[in-house]
Amino acid sequence: QVQLQESGPGLVKPSQTLSLTCTVSGGSISSESYYWTWVRQPAGKGLEWIGQVYTTGRTNYNPSLTSRVTMSVDASRNHFSLELTSVTAADTAVYYCAGGLIVFGGVIFYNWGQGTLVTVSS
Amino acid sequence: DIVMTQSPDFLAVSLGERATISCKSSQSVLYSSNNKNYLAWYQHKPGQPPKLLIYWASTRESGVPDRFSGSGSGTDFTLTISSLQPEDVADYYCQQYDSAPYTFGQGTKLEIK
């Protein structure tokens, strides 16, 4: 059973870069069966898919965030990362990482991290 | 992008009664080549990550009680809880995984009447 755990600063200043890491255990980040995914939920709002990264480094991003998002995989540390630049208060949210299992060309989010709250404030 | 629209936004149901949540997609998430609907349902409780309940529109995830069921095809889907239990109080989201960005519905808050 793949397990995931987010880590990173809980407070980021406006205009700076939000950086989070998701450590994978119980499975390999190099698995060809997963897209490694980030999802967020602003307070009082719904879930928003941010994007995903494959073991090869191939990425897909939400068009609403693509100009500010970078995701990457680090096989040596068995983790993947999210960077979101030029943050504003609107980026305050609980950020989840998830393992998206690739099945018949679809990506099903079976496994999730516990989530980490990131607040954007000066 | 595929837009997912749930109804209602808020639902209050008595214990033991049936709860029904609707989800509509702006375009079909049914793949004719394999006859599968790329539609999932998640349960989300405060302080916890979302939990996968249903995938392929109607396949219950392992360990999910059989009072939860999913139905529908193409653009119209339903999540049904046949007999509401106290632990079912949560937000529920549908999500399409047919094509990126993998969009969620806006969520339905389910409470006890």
The answer to whether residue A1 scores a pLDDT higher than 90 is no
Q: What is the pLDDT of residues A13-53, one digit of tens each?
A: 999 999 999 999 999 999 999 999 999 999 999 999 999 99
A98: which chain B residues are within 8 Å (Cβ-Cβ)? Answer: 49
Q: What is the pLDDT of residues B33-60, one digit of tens each?
A: 999 999 999 999 999 999 999 999 999 9
pLDDT at A9: 96
Which segments of chain B have a pLDDT < 50?
A: none
Q: A1, A6, A108: best mutation site toward chain B, by most B Cβ within 10 Å? A: A108
Minimal CA separation from A102 to chain B, in Å? 10
The 10 Å CB-count burial string (b at 16+, else e) for B76-100 is ebbbebeebeeebebbbbbbbbbeb
Q: What is the pLDDT of residues A74-121, one digit of tens each?
A: 999 999 999 999 999 999 999 999 999 999 999 999 999 999 999 999
Pairing of strands B36-37, A106-112: unpaired
DSSP character at residue B35: T
Cα(B113)–Cα(A49) distance, rounded to whole angstroms?
32
Q: Which of residues 8-67 of B touch A (CB under 8 A)?
A: 31, 34, 36, 38, 40, 42, 44, 48-52, 55, 61
Cα(A73)–Cα(A38) distance, rounded to whole angstroms?
12
Contact of A5 with A114, CB cutoff 8 Å: yes
Cis geometry, peptide bond prior to residue B8 (ω within 30 degrees of 0): yes
